[in-house]
Protein backbone atom coordinates (compact mmCIF):
# COMPACT_ATOMS: atom_id res chain seq x y z
CA UNK A 1 0.00 0.00 0.00
CA UNK A 2 2.89 2.35 0.77
CA UNK A 3 4.33 1.63 -2.68
CA UNK A 4 0.96 2.42 -4.28
CA UNK A 5 0.77 5.67 -2.31
CA UNK A 6 4.25 6.67 -3.48
CA UNK A 7 3.38 5.98 -7.12
CA UNK A 8 0.17 7.96 -6.79
CA UNK A 9 1.95 10.93 -5.26
CA UNK A 10 4.64 10.90 -7.95
CA UNK A 11 2.27 10.56 -10.91
CA UNK A 12 -0.36 12.81 -9.34
CA UNK A 13 2.16 15.60 -8.78
CA UNK A 14 3.05 15.67 -12.47
CA UNK A 15 -0.59 15.60 -13.53
CA UNK A 16 -1.51 18.42 -11.18
CA UNK A 17 1.56 20.46 -12.12
CA UNK A 18 1.30 19.73 -15.82
CA UNK A 19 2.95 23.04 -16.66
CA UNK A 20 6.14 21.63 -15.11
CA UNK A 21 5.91 18.69 -17.52
CA UNK A 22 5.79 21.00 -20.51
CA UNK A 23 8.63 23.10 -19.09
CA UNK A 24 10.83 20.04 -18.59
CA UNK A 25 10.09 18.93 -22.15
CA UNK A 26 10.92 22.39 -23.45
CA UNK A 27 14.26 22.51 -21.61
CA UNK A 28 15.05 18.97 -22.72
CA UNK A 29 14.32 19.94 -26.32
CA UNK A 30 16.68 22.88 -26.05
CA UNK A 31 19.43 20.66 -24.63
CA UNK A 32 18.98 18.05 -27.36
CA UNK A 33 19.05 20.68 -30.09
CA UNK A 34 22.22 22.15 -28.60
CA UNK A 35 23.77 18.67 -28.69
CA UNK A 36 22.81 18.27 -32.37
CA UNK A 37 20.16 15.66 -31.51
CA UNK A 38 17.70 17.42 -33.78
CA UNK A 39 15.24 14.56 -34.30
CA UNK A 40 14.24 14.14 -30.66
CA UNK A 41 14.83 17.81 -29.91
CA UNK A 42 12.25 18.81 -32.49
CA UNK A 43 9.80 16.19 -31.22
CA UNK A 44 10.00 17.36 -27.61
CA UNK A 45 9.82 20.98 -28.73
CA UNK A 46 6.64 20.25 -30.67
CA UNK A 47 5.05 18.36 -27.77
CA UNK A 48 5.82 21.11 -25.25
CA UNK A 49 4.61 23.89 -27.53
CA UNK A 50 1.41 22.01 -28.33
CA UNK A 51 0.84 21.42 -24.62
CA UNK A 52 1.21 25.09 -23.73
CA UNK A 53 -0.94 26.08 -26.72
CA UNK A 54 -3.67 23.60 -25.75
CA UNK A 55 -3.94 24.84 -22.17
CA UNK A 56 -3.63 28.43 -23.34
CA UNK A 57 -6.62 28.11 -25.69
CA UNK A 58 -8.83 25.27 -24.45
CA UNK A 59 -10.21 26.11 -20.97
CA UNK A 60 -10.17 22.49 -19.75
CA UNK A 61 -9.06 23.61 -16.29
CA UNK A 62 -11.94 26.04 -15.96
CA UNK A 63 -14.45 23.47 -17.24
CA UNK A 64 -13.35 20.84 -14.71
CA UNK A 65 -13.28 23.40 -11.90
CA UNK A 66 -16.75 24.56 -12.83
CA UNK A 67 -18.13 21.02 -12.60
CA UNK A 68 -16.87 20.80 -9.04
CA UNK A 69 -18.35 24.16 -8.08
CA UNK A 70 -21.73 23.33 -9.61
CA UNK A 71 -22.05 19.96 -7.88
CA UNK A 72 -23.92 21.33 -4.86
CA UNK A 73 -26.49 24.16 -4.97
CA UNK A 74 -26.07 27.29 -2.93
CA UNK A 75 -27.79 27.18 0.46
CA UNK A 76 -30.16 30.05 1.12
CA UNK A 77 -30.93 29.27 4.79
CA UNK A 78 -29.55 26.84 7.33
CA UNK A 79 -32.15 24.44 8.80
CA UNK A 80 -33.22 25.35 12.35
CA UNK A 81 -32.35 21.87 13.60
CA UNK A 82 -28.71 22.07 12.46
CA UNK A 83 -26.26 21.33 15.26
CA UNK A 84 -23.25 23.34 14.15
CA UNK A 85 -20.93 24.81 11.54
CA UNK A 86 -17.69 23.11 10.48
CA UNK A 87 -14.99 25.25 8.90
CA UNK A 88 -12.33 23.47 6.84
CA UNK A 89 -8.93 25.13 7.13
CA UNK A 90 -6.78 26.05 4.18
CA UNK A 91 -7.49 29.78 3.93
CA UNK A 92 -4.20 31.07 5.32
CA UNK A 93 -0.86 31.39 3.53
CA UNK A 94 1.50 29.30 5.68
CA UNK A 95 4.66 30.86 4.21
CA UNK A 96 3.77 34.54 4.01
CA UNK A 97 1.89 34.81 7.33
CA UNK A 98 4.85 34.05 9.65
CA UNK A 99 7.30 35.83 7.38
CA UNK A 100 5.30 39.08 7.38
CA UNK A 101 4.01 38.87 10.91
CA UNK A 102 0.38 39.29 9.88
CA UNK A 103 -2.26 37.02 8.41
CA UNK A 104 -2.14 36.51 4.67
CA UNK A 105 -4.83 34.65 2.75
CA UNK A 106 -4.51 32.33 -0.23
CA UNK A 107 -6.84 31.19 -3.04
CA UNK A 108 -9.29 29.74 -0.50
CA UNK A 109 -9.37 32.80 1.73
CA UNK A 110 -13.00 33.49 0.89
CA UNK A 111 -14.19 30.46 2.82
CA UNK A 112 -12.94 31.94 6.11
CA UNK A 113 -14.72 35.26 5.66
CA UNK A 114 -17.96 33.53 4.71
CA UNK A 115 -17.70 31.30 7.76
CA UNK A 116 -17.31 34.36 9.99
CA UNK A 117 -20.46 35.84 8.46
CA UNK A 118 -22.38 32.63 9.08
CA UNK A 119 -21.11 32.38 12.63
CA UNK A 120 -22.50 35.83 13.39
CA UNK A 121 -25.72 35.15 11.51
CA UNK A 122 -26.35 31.90 13.41
CA UNK A 123 -24.85 32.48 16.89
CA UNK A 124 -26.71 29.51 18.40
CA UNK A 125 -24.76 26.96 16.32
CA UNK A 126 -21.69 25.19 17.63
CA UNK A 127 -18.60 26.36 15.74
CA UNK A 128 -15.88 23.90 14.73
CA UNK A 129 -12.57 24.73 13.04
CA UNK A 130 -10.46 21.87 11.67
CA UNK A 131 -6.98 22.08 10.16
CA UNK A 132 -3.34 21.84 11.17
CA UNK A 133 -1.68 23.53 14.15
CA UNK A 134 -0.74 26.66 12.17
CA UNK A 135 -4.27 27.07 10.85
CA UNK A 136 -5.81 26.59 14.28
CA UNK A 137 -3.60 29.22 15.93
CA UNK A 138 -4.08 31.67 13.07
CA UNK A 139 -7.84 31.13 13.09
CA UNK A 140 -7.99 31.89 16.82
CA UNK A 141 -6.37 35.28 16.23
CA UNK A 142 -8.58 36.06 13.26
CA UNK A 143 -11.78 35.03 15.04
CA UNK A 144 -10.84 37.36 17.87
CA UNK A 145 -10.16 40.18 15.40
CA UNK A 146 -13.57 39.68 13.77
CA UNK A 147 -15.45 39.69 17.05
CA UNK A 148 -15.86 35.95 17.62
CA UNK A 149 -14.76 34.60 20.99
CA UNK A 150 -12.30 31.74 20.25
CA UNK A 151 -13.43 29.99 23.43
CA UNK A 152 -16.77 29.33 21.75
CA UNK A 153 -15.07 27.46 18.90
CA UNK A 154 -13.97 23.82 19.00
CA UNK A 155 -10.53 23.56 17.38
CA UNK A 156 -9.06 20.46 15.79
CA UNK A 157 -5.46 21.29 14.90
CA UNK A 158 -3.78 17.98 14.16
CA UNK A 159 -4.89 17.26 10.59
CA UNK A 160 -2.57 17.17 7.60
CA UNK A 161 -5.24 16.75 4.93
CA UNK A 162 -8.99 16.61 4.36
CA UNK A 163 -9.15 12.94 5.30
CA UNK A 164 -7.64 13.88 8.66
CA UNK A 165 -10.08 16.78 8.99
CA UNK A 166 -13.00 14.38 8.71
CA UNK A 167 -11.66 11.59 10.93
CA UNK A 168 -10.19 13.72 13.71
CA UNK A 169 -13.21 16.02 13.83
CA UNK A 170 -15.43 12.96 14.13
CA UNK A 171 -13.28 11.69 17.00
CA UNK A 172 -13.57 15.06 18.73
CA UNK A 173 -17.32 15.67 18.53
CA UNK A 174 -18.63 12.11 17.93
CA UNK A 175 -21.52 13.01 15.59
CA UNK A 176 -24.78 11.08 15.84
CA UNK A 177 -26.74 10.00 12.73
CA UNK A 178 -29.53 12.46 13.52
CA UNK A 179 -27.15 15.41 13.97
CA UNK A 180 -26.95 17.83 11.06
CA UNK A 181 -23.61 19.56 10.62
CA UNK A 182 -23.16 22.36 8.11
CA UNK A 183 -19.89 21.89 6.23
CA UNK A 184 -18.38 25.18 5.03
CA UNK A 185 -15.61 25.10 2.46
CA UNK A 186 -14.74 26.32 -1.03
CA UNK A 187 -17.22 25.13 -3.66
CA UNK A 188 -14.55 23.35 -5.72
CA UNK A 189 -13.41 21.48 -2.59
CA UNK A 190 -16.90 20.46 -1.48
CA UNK A 191 -17.45 17.16 -3.39
CA UNK A 192 -14.25 15.58 -2.05
CA UNK A 193 -14.90 16.91 1.46
CA UNK A 194 -18.49 15.67 1.59
CA UNK A 195 -17.45 12.15 0.58
CA UNK A 196 -14.85 12.01 3.35
CA UNK A 197 -17.08 13.51 6.05
CA UNK A 198 -19.97 11.20 5.20
CA UNK A 199 -17.63 8.23 5.47
CA UNK A 200 -16.49 9.51 8.88
CA UNK A 201 -20.09 9.42 10.11
CA UNK A 202 -21.31 12.97 9.55
CA UNK A 203 -24.77 13.86 8.33
CA UNK A 204 -23.49 16.92 6.49
CA UNK A 205 -25.30 19.83 4.92
CA UNK A 206 -22.93 21.08 2.17
CA UNK A 207 -22.59 24.86 2.27
CA UNK A 208 -20.38 25.78 -0.72
CA UNK A 209 -18.72 29.20 -0.69
CA UNK A 210 -15.70 30.92 -2.21
CA UNK A 211 -16.54 30.44 -5.91
CA UNK A 212 -13.93 30.95 -8.63
CA UNK A 213 -15.96 30.41 -11.81
CA UNK A 214 -19.17 32.10 -13.00
CA UNK A 215 -20.80 28.66 -13.30
CA UNK A 216 -21.83 28.87 -16.95
CA UNK A 217 -18.74 28.70 -19.12
CA UNK A 218 -19.66 28.13 -22.73
CA UNK A 219 -17.61 25.62 -24.79
CA UNK A 220 -15.62 28.46 -26.32
CA UNK A 221 -11.88 28.92 -26.66
CA UNK A 222 -9.86 31.92 -25.48
CA UNK A 223 -6.31 32.98 -24.69
CA UNK A 224 -5.58 32.54 -20.98
CA UNK A 225 -2.69 30.21 -20.17
CA UNK A 226 -2.11 31.19 -16.53
CA UNK A 227 -5.80 31.35 -15.67
CA UNK A 228 -6.43 27.91 -17.16
CA UNK A 229 -3.36 26.29 -15.61
CA UNK A 230 -4.24 27.68 -12.16
CA UNK A 231 -7.75 26.25 -12.53
CA UNK A 232 -6.34 22.92 -13.74
CA UNK A 233 -4.05 22.69 -10.72
CA UNK A 234 -6.93 23.26 -8.31
CA UNK A 235 -9.44 20.99 -10.06
CA UNK A 236 -7.14 18.08 -10.93
CA UNK A 237 -6.07 17.80 -7.28
CA UNK A 238 -9.73 17.40 -6.32
CA UNK A 239 -10.59 14.91 -9.08
CA UNK A 240 -7.54 12.75 -8.39
CA UNK A 241 -8.22 12.91 -4.66
CA UNK A 242 -11.82 11.75 -5.10
CA UNK A 243 -10.78 8.80 -7.27
CA UNK A 244 -8.07 7.68 -4.84
CA UNK A 245 -10.33 8.14 -1.81
CA UNK A 246 -12.92 5.87 -3.41
CA UNK A 247 -10.37 3.23 -4.44
CA UNK A 248 -8.86 3.17 -0.95
CA UNK A 249 -12.23 3.06 0.81
CA UNK A 250 -11.97 6.50 2.36
CA UNK A 251 -15.19 7.54 0.63
CA UNK A 252 -18.23 5.60 -0.53
CA UNK A 253 -18.73 7.95 -3.48
CA UNK A 254 -16.47 8.85 -6.37
CA UNK A 255 -18.20 12.19 -6.95
CA UNK A 256 -20.33 12.99 -3.91
CA UNK A 257 -23.57 14.81 -4.58
CA UNK A 258 -26.92 15.68 -3.05
CA UNK A 259 -28.71 12.81 -1.34
- At 4 the pLDDT is 64
Q: What dihedral do alpha carbons 220, 223, 224, 225 form, nearest 10°? A: 110
Q: Which of 65, 67, 115 is nearest to 89 (CA)?
A: 115
Q: Where are the domains of the chain?
A: 2-67+223-247, 74-209
Which residue, 206, 168, 211, is CA-closest to 69?
211
The alpha helices in the chain, defined as continuous H runs, are 2-16, 18-34, 38-57, 60-69, 96-100, 109-121, 133-145, 162-173, 190-199, 225-247
The one-digit pLDDT tens for each residue of the chain (259 residues) are: 566 667 778 889 999 999 999 999 999 999 999 999 999 999 999 999 999 999 999 999 999 999 999 999 999 999 999 999 999 999 999 999 999 999 999 989 999 999 999 999 999 999 999 999 999 999 999 999 999 999 999 999 999 999 999 999 999 999 999 999 999 999 999 999 999 999 999 999 999 999 999 888 766 667 789 999 999 999 999 999 999 999 999 999 999 999 8
Contact (CB, 8 A) for 141 and 98: no
- Inter-CA distances, 145 with 23, 58, 137, 138, Å: 43, 43, 13, 11
- Architecture, CATH, for domain 74-209: 3-Layer(aba) Sandwich (3.40)
What are the CA-CA distances from residue 108 to residues 81, 116, 123, 178, 187 (Å)?
28, 14, 23, 30, 10
CA 21 – CA 212 distance, rounded (Å) = 25
Amino acid sequence: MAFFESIYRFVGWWIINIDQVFLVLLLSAGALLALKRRKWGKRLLLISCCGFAFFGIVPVGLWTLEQLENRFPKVETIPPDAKGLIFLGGSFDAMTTPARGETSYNLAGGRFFRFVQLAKQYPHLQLVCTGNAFEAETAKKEFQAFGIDPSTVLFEGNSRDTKGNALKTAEMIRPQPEDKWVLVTSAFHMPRSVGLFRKAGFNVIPYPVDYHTPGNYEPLFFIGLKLNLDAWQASSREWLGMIINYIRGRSDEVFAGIR
